[in-house]
Structure 1
Amino acid sequence: MEYTENTDQALGFAKQALDKMNEIGVPANPHNFTIWFHYFSGTYPDLKRTLDILLGNQQAFTETRNSEIFQKFFTLDQESATLHDATTRMESELARVMSTLDGADEDLSGLHVSLRDFSDQISKTDDKSEILALTTRMNAHVAQVLEGRSAVEDELKVSLREISELKDDLERMRREALTDGLTGIANRKLFDLELRKSSMNAMANGEELALLMLDVDHFDRFNEHYGHQVGDQVLKLVAVTISECIKGQDTAARYGGDEFSVILPRTNLENAQRLAEHICKRVSSKNVVNRSTGERLGKITMSVGVALFEYGEPVSQLLVRADRTLQEAMKNGYNQVLTQVDVTKLLN
């Protein structure tokens, strides 16, 4: 990331950031400071727009929300740095392997020359003492090369183990980059990738594609009345329940905050609606219990919007249609499933 501010500008943005964080009760840690510094510097228009909406709606900047904002707008740089570090280490280990193998080849080449010379010298003498001396030197040379070969094997084992660990690190980083840290299901980044891929597959194969947008009804009351730990418990419970209801081809994701989404390849509107109703029924059958006190906190209900992909449209239009359907379900009394067809009827 490149910074174009001069010293005075940077100081000004920093002061504005700290003042605003203090005003709205956001802890001044490095991640939060990064968010609000860039808000005032205007570096990321999407970030500024997001924060303006939250401020305009007088939303609380909780620890979870701050973490989500940072993850959405700034983790790519961190992932790139981690990837660069892992790649550099991988290149270093591979160079060491090549160097080790080159050294082993040189030792073997030298041994080949020595054996040939030994054979020539043996053939030219009948002196037992000289033959014994030649044999002793040759044995010593062979032993030295074999010892070097053992060292090479040990060196290669170390390098291969390091490369294996790097591979595991990269795989873990890939999973973390695409997984929501709280709920363990797909995050917004993976959702966007899967939705684009699913829309392309649907058009290529002439198949249907449905999308569910789900929102936990009155989620703020869990946070406000019982604390954010209970709110997090609710989100985890919802994520697990959704995951239990879908098939292997489907993708459940945390879209943001208390909103979830499910991508349903090869699924028509009727079957998508049926699944949404099943999810709502399963979620409402769960009783939320405060783990620290054992108190029962009541049932969870959800509102769901169901939309169907239309060939050739941008996926953003599908998202808008699904979200508008969800908003109508919430406006119409919560705890219900509406499809895009239902919304059309309501608005006409």
Structure 2
Amino acid sequence: MNALSSSSAGPQQGLTDRLTRWARGLSGKAEAADDSPPEQRVRAGTAANREVVRRRKLYDDIGDFLFVHDLDLTPVNFSVALDYLTGTNIGIEKAVKAVMMERGQVTNGWIETVIAEQRADEITPEALAAMLDKVEESLSLFTGLMHESRSSAKDYGAALQEQAKDLASGGDAEAVLARLVNLTRSMVEKTRQVETQLRDNQKQTQALKSSLESARQAAEHDFLTGLPNRRAFEGALREELTLAREQGEPLAIGFCDIDHFKIINDTHGHDTGDRVLKFVAGLLTKISNDRCHVARHGGEEFVMLFRGKTAAEACALVDKVREDLAGRSLVNRVNGEKMEQVTFSAGVADVLEYEHPRAALRAADRALYLAKEHGRNRVYVAVDTD
């Protein structure tokens, strides 16, 4: 099972079709082509022909990259290959070089994570501020249009009254009627203009709403597991800490880290490692609710927050998930082989025992690594030694 779907919709479909045709060519199913060098198949000496040769080589290089790394034929993978091979995106180029040096191969899951992180990084406070400025501008325009519409209606009403008085006082009926027709035409045209502006304003507002929602999702969710990310968790920690203090409730925090995760990746591949991350995330999600928050903290590490639970009670909850995972017989879907036992270690701390929540995080982290030192596949409660 691949981490990325090979299908795409809308304007991306054309690119996916082209990539599919490449795949046929790479597998030998394309029509026979001239084996002569590209330079001999085009008229030499012109910039246009040199550009054709350059593009053909680039397409070949991208196709080779996708084939060698066994990547799905998707626009996202094509884009990453293009950025890496041309150097147009320094961040992507460095990331690909680093993962190839470390793992020797780029995977669909890795690309998915990198692209998600890049998109999250693009959602800066400045970008959000700019979006909010546009929202305020849109609201101001809407308010102005409403005032203008009301003012126009008021002026129209006053003008009608004047013409009615003129008609009642014995004025030229034909002339009054002509003025009424002109007034009505003018009002109708004005109304059409306002309606058009309102429709445009509504479209812009809807687009801004969609952009803000996308920004929020990208900024606060982990793309691979679907869990909230570290940024979202820190916000939840601040809110839950305030509520716990106001309501006199206990508050516990926990760290959980998958044991020997590097061995899982090295033995079964990073796509399988990604599936293990998703599986563990799913088990942890089962204990989450409006008083229990679970997030991916980074890598193979997850963080949990329990309002209304003491450290000991939170430890018991996490330990049930640990037992559930340890009792599972997981299978590598790529080759059908049974995997070694997958487990995690965890540490839990009482947030309110520490002066600052970050100190509680560090305490839970120390308890986690103490659990690993004592054999892994266990949950320890931190003891405040400050």
Place the TM-score, normalised by the shorter chain, in its bin.
0.7 to 0.9
What is the alpha-carbon root mean square deviation over aligned residues? 3.4
Q: Cα offset for 1:336?
A: 1.3
Whole-angstrom CA distance in 2 between matches of 1:69 and 1:165: 26
2:323 to 265, 269, 281: 281
Q: 1:133 to 1:285 in 2, by over 3 A?
A: farther
User: What is the TM-score of this pair, normalised by structure 1?
Assistant: 0.72
Sequence identity percentage: 26
The DSSP-based 3-state class of the residue aligned with 2:222 is: coil
Of 242, 246, 263 in structure 1, the residue corresponding to residue 288 of structure 2 is 246
Deviation of the 1:188 alpha carbon: 0.8
Match of 1:215 among 227, 239, 257: 257
Superposed structure 1 runs of 4+ greater than 4 Å apart: 32-35, 58-77
Q: Structure 1 residues 59 and 340, CA, compared in 2 at 3 Å: closer, same or farther?
A: farther
Which residue of 2 is the match for residue 202 of structure 1? Answer: 244
Partner Cα distance (2:222, 2:306) in 1: 19
Distance 1:98 1:202, change over 3 A: closer
2:374 to 328, 332, 335: 332
Task: Check conservation: 1:203, 1:311, Cα contact below 8 A.
Answer: no
Q: Is the 8 A contact 2:257 2:346 kept in 1?
A: yes
2:155 to 107, 110, 119: 110
Equivalent pairs counted in the alignment come to 295
Partners of 1:108 and 1:234 in 2: how far apart?
65
Separation of aligned partners in 1, 2:163 and 2:356: 77
- Which deviates more from structure 2 when the two are superposed, residues 178-187 or residues 284-293? 284-293
Aligned counterparts of 2:370 and 2:325: Cα–Cα separation in 1:
20
Shift of 1:155: 2.8
Change (3 A) 1:95 1:200: closer
Report the residue type matching 1:123 in the other structure. Answer: A
Q: Deviations over 1:148-207 (max 9, x none)?
A: 324423432331243133223212311321111111111111222222333333333332
- 1:39 aligned partner: none
Q: 2:174 aligns with which of 126, 132, 136?
A: 132
| Residues 275-303 of structure 1 deviation map (CA, whole Å, 9 limit, x = unaligned) | 11111122224343333433332432111
The letter for the 2-side match of 1:134 is V
Alignment of 1:156-195 (within 5 A): 156-195=198-237
Indicate the residue corresponding to 2:308 in structure 1. Answer: 266
Separation of aligned partners in 2, 1:326 and 1:68: 25
Q: Which runs of 5+ in 1 are unaligned?
A: 1-26, 36-50, 52-57
Q: Does 1:30 align with 2:75?
A: no
Structure 1 CA distance, aligned partners of 2:242 and 2:113?
28
Give yes or no for contact 1:187–1:255 (8 Å, CA) kept in 2.
yes
Q: For the Cα contact (< 8 Å) 2:113–2:223, is it kept in 1? A: no
Deviation of 1:76 (Å):
5.3
Deviations 1:18-69 (A, max 9, x none): xxxxxxxxx664325789xxxxxxxxxxxxxxx9xxxxxx976988789979
List per-residue Cα deviations over 1:285-328 (Å, max 9, x = no partner).
Answer: 43433334333324321111122224451112211111111111
Alignment of 1:89 with 2:131, yes or no, is: no
Aligned CA distance change for structure 1 residues 305 and 66 (closer, same or farther; 3 Å): farther
Rate the CA distance shift 1:254–1:161 in 2: closer, same or farther, 3 A: same
Is this contact kept in 2: 1:31–1:70, CA < 8 A? no
For normalisation by structure 2, the TM-score amounts to 0.66
CA contact (8 A) 1:203 1:312 kept: no
Q: CA deviation at 1:99?
A: 4.3
C-alpha contact (below 8 Å) 2:349/2:364 kept by paired residues: yes
| Secondary structure class of the residue paired with 1:289 | coil
* Alpha-carbon separation, structure 2, partners of 1:280 and 1:116: 81
What SS does the aligned partner of 1:222 have? Answer: helix
Are 2:139 and 1:79 aligned? no
**Secondary structure at the counterpart of residue 149 of structure 1:** helix
Letter in 1 for 2:160: L
Contact 1:272–1:306, Cα closer than 8 Å, also in 2: yes
- CA separation of 1:310/1:145 partners in 2, compared to 1, >3 Å: closer, same or farther? closer
Q: Letter of the aligned partner of 1:225 in structure 2?
A: T
